[in-house]
Amino acid sequence: MRKIDCFIPFAGIAQVEKTVKNLQETGSVSSIYLLAAPDVTETLPGCETLHVPPIQSAAAIKAIAGHTQAEYTLLYTKYTTLEPGMFSLERMIHIAQDSDAGMVYADRYQVKEGRQTNAPVIDYQFGSLRDDFDFGSVLLFRTDAFLEAASHIKEDRYQFAGLYDLRLKLSQKETLVHINEYLYSEIEDDTRKSGEKIFDYVDPKNRDRQIEMEKACTEHLKEIGGYLAPEFKQIEFSAGNFRYEASVIIPVRNRIRTIRDAIHSVLKQKTDFKFNLIIIDNHSTDGTTEAINEFKSDERLIHIIPRRNDLGIGGCWNMGVHHPECGKFAVQLDSDDVYKDENTLSTMVRAFYEQNCAMVVGTYMMTDFNMNMIAPGIIDHKEWTPENGRNNALRINGLGAPRAFYTPVLREVKVPNTSYGEDYALGLNFSRHYQIGRVYDVVYLCRRWDDNSDASLDIVKMNGHNLYKDRIRTWELQARVAMNKKE
């Protein structure tokens, strides 16, 4: 039964001793290799130490490929203690054999501050291209599949994207199977709320990492036929007969503490064109409706209360965009947020003409409720480049803000009637054919506070959101592959 070679990050004996003992006691392990930085001098009897860069690097993956000899290869990616469940490694081997998977991964328990909680993961699919996809910390590979994928990693200088590149290469020929059983426990030391984690991927200090991930993802898209060259449809901006040049769209439900600020930030805009504000008030019950009515003397404000009761944020957007008074360009403003100053609307509209694009993505600054800047600060989404943005969009988990759309195209595409990921679906769809314009000046303030919809999500809701976004990616990637085959 000793069919597994294990590879574990190693910072010292105290850190790995219990994990090693737990693995040895399973009876399934052939050899254990400790992945150590060059300055680590400690050794542990019964284990071989490999001095390599971090496990996410290409060099570490190549080193593992050069040492693994058992039928299966296990990577543990955390420095905290791993406790395999009873017969769990045998179970993982069993499922790997039955499904002929190149890799299996499983649900797990997390121990946070001494308390055990369930930490399920989600199924991997064709569009699961996020580099931060959560597999858990235990990855079990069929060794021949691991070696084949590792042999195609071309960029030996990857410091951050080696493990990501490995699983992309693996997915081209093998299935990655989720075992929805709780097979191990891990110590979790990141105790931040969901709302504090979601911007990690756009933190400016991670820019080097992002560039590597983009390179690996772009290569993968080329290899599977999903890459799109930077060739775009041109737009004349002459469709329709619009009374207004632009409309700001605000869907809102129960935002009495922020809606007045949002409205003020729109009505104070200075432009040389006509604009209006369309608020879709989705049956608020906290005084938001009355707060909006305080502005009814301003003829630019259109206050809609839907007759329907089945609208999410996307459905509210559809109501606003299909209103006969909607302008040529529809510009987003969340009811929590505000425009930075009186020039935001002009800046966003001007970008459409200057860059000939069907959608514009701006730059925002993270603030607290009182508009003071908080980490990670300015979010400019530099991955949205004219050259490769629409390919890299399949990897990232958000688009930036504010978002603005050429209304005739948006009316044709329509917004998914959801309250999460609807903007991301639009960005992918628009970018399939059209250029996405960029504004790199800060034009938007994104307020983070306890009542944000994503401030503190439990893992089930987070998984539901991520599964939906992966599904959006899958549909988009399938469409792009099919489109390339026709050309």
User: pLDDT tens digits, residue range 168-197?
Assistant: 999 999 999 999 999 999 987 755 454 554
Compute the distance between CA of residue 14 and CA of residue 55 in angstroms, rounded to an integer.
19
Query: Within a 10 A sphere around the Cβ of 278, how many other Cβ atoms?
Result: 25
Return the amino acid letter for 196: E
Whole-number pLDDT of residue 240: 85
| Tens-binned pLDDT, residue by residue, of the chain (487 aa) | 689 999 999 999 999 999 999 999 999 999 999 999 999 999 999 999 999 999 999 999 999 999 999 999 999 999 999 999 999 999 999 999 999 999 999 999 999 888 999 999 999 999 999 999 999 999 999 999 999 999 999 878 899 999 999 999 999 999 999 999 999 999 877 554 545 545 555 565 688 999 999 999 999 999 999 999 999 999 999 988 999 999 999 999 999 999 999 999 999 999 999 999 999 999 999 999 999 999 999 999 999 999 999 999 999 999 999 999 999 999 999 999 999 999 999 999 999 999 999 999 999 999 999 999 998 899 988 878 889 999 999 999 888 999 999 999 999 999 999 999 999 999 999 999 999 999 999 999 999 888 765 556 899 999 999 999 999 999 999 999 999 999 8
Task: For the full predicted model, state whether its pTM sits above 0.85.
Answer: yes
DSSP 451: T
Question: Measuring CA to CA, how many Å separate 146 from each of 97, 199, 324?
Answer: 15, 31, 57
**Torsion sign across C-alpha atoms 372, 376, 378, 384:** negative
Contact status, residue 65 vs residue 141, Cβ threshold 8 Å: no
Contact status, residue 278 vs residue 326, Cβ threshold 8 Å: yes
Whole-number pLDDT of residue 192: 47
User: pLDDT tens digits, residue range 12-63?
Assistant: 999 999 999 999 999 999 999 999 999 999 999 999 999 999 999 999 999 9
Q: Residue 188: name the closest of 86, 88, 114 by CA.
A: 114
**Torsion sign across C-alpha atoms 419, 422, 424, 427:** negative
Q: Burial level of 483, CB count in 10 A (0-12/13-18/19+)? A: middle
The radius of gyration computed from the CA coordinates of the chain, to the nearest angstrom, equals 25
Contact status, residue 395 vs residue 213, Cβ threshold 8 Å: yes
Q: Residue 468: which residues within 8 A CB-CB, separation 6 or more? A: 418, 420, 421
Whole-number pLDDT of residue 193: 58
Whole-number pLDDT of residue 399: 87
Q: Which residues pair with 74 in a beta bridge?
A: 6, 140
Return the amino acid letter for 44: L
